[in-house]
Amino acid sequence: MTAPAPDPSTTHREHEDPPALLFWPAALLGAAIVAYGVLRWAPWDSRSIDLGTYVRWTVGLAVVHDLVFAPIVGLIGYAIARLVPRTYKATVQGAAIVAGIVILFSIPFVRGWGRNSNTSALPRNYAEGLTIILVLIGVVTIGLLIRDHLRARADRAEEVGT
């Protein structure tokens, strides 16, 4: 298969509404389900939560993602894109993605925020576990970087040869 030839008439897409017959019934149904969930939450919560708690952990979480987390990720990505040589860029980006997500996930475990008197809960040394994973990611990354290096050298040799 080959990619279709670029044709300005089809490649430039003005905003296009979804098919109305599909969209509007689904939008109504979806909105009804959303309203159902929102309205049922508080009355069922045994701790009688207040509006602030609701908002903080739903809208607040999305705001923190979009305005804090995403820009930080963007800055890291920008730094990698600017600082890492082209040959190694893809590998470093991939390694940063995997390592970053694993670190993010493991924070509550490593910090032991949930530890309590129950010794069968959170029984592991999570800092050690995270270190092991990061070392493994590092080993794989080094292997890929060596591959990148050899490939780039082979490409250069080819260019010189021609």
Partner 1 sequence: MQRTRRFPSKLHDERTAALLGIALGVTFGICFLTGLYSHYQQNQDDALFVIPAGPVGLYRFTQGLHVATGIATVPLLLAKLWVVLPGFYQWPPVRSIAHAVERAMLLPLVAGSLFLLFSGVGNIALWRPWRFDFTTGHYWVAWVTMGALVTHVAAKLFVVRRALRDEDPIDGSPAPTEVGVETDVVGDEGGAAVGDTRPTDREPERSEPDDERVLVGVGDGGLSRRGFLTAIGAASGVLTVATVGQTFSPLDSISVLAPRSPSVGPQGVPVNRTAAQARVTQTAVDPAYRMLVTTSTGLERSFSVDELRQLPWTVEDLPLACVEGWSSDATWGGVSIIDLAREMGLDEPSEVIVRSLQEGRRFTSSRVNRSQSRSPKSLLALDLGDEPLHIDHGFPVRLIVPNRPGVLQTKWIDRVEITA
- Alpha helices, H only, 19-69: 20-44, 51-57, 59-64
Total residues interacting with partner 1, rule: CB under 8 A: 92
Q: Report the nearest approach of partner 1 to the CB of residue 156 (Å).
A: 15
158 scored as a contact of partner 1 (CB under 8 A) = no
Q: What is the DSSP letter of 19?
A: P
The residues near 30 (Cβ < 8 Å, ≥ 6 apart) are none
Per CB under 8 A, contacts with partner 1 among 79-98 are 81-82, 86-87, 89-90, 93-95, 97-98
User: How many Å apart are CA 132 and CA 134, to the nearest integer?
Assistant: 5
**With respect to partner 1, which residue has the nearer C-beta, 40 or 157?**
40
Read out DSSP for 64-118?
HIIIIIHHHHHHHHHHHHHHS-HHHHHHHHHHHHHHHHHHHHHHHHHHTTT--S-
Q: Contact letters (x/-) for partner 1, 41-70, by CB under 8 A? A: x--xxxx-x---xx-xxxx-xx--xx---x
User: How many Å apart are CA 40 and CA 158, to the nearest integer?
Assistant: 67
4 scored as a contact of partner 1 (CB under 8 A) = yes
Q: Candidates 8, 158, 160, 162: give the one binding partner 1 (CB under 8 A).
A: 8
161 scored as a contact of partner 1 (CB under 8 A) = no
Per CB under 8 A, contacts with partner 1 among 106-135 are 106, 108-109, 113-124, 126, 128-130, 132-133
72 scored as a contact of partner 1 (CB under 8 A) = no
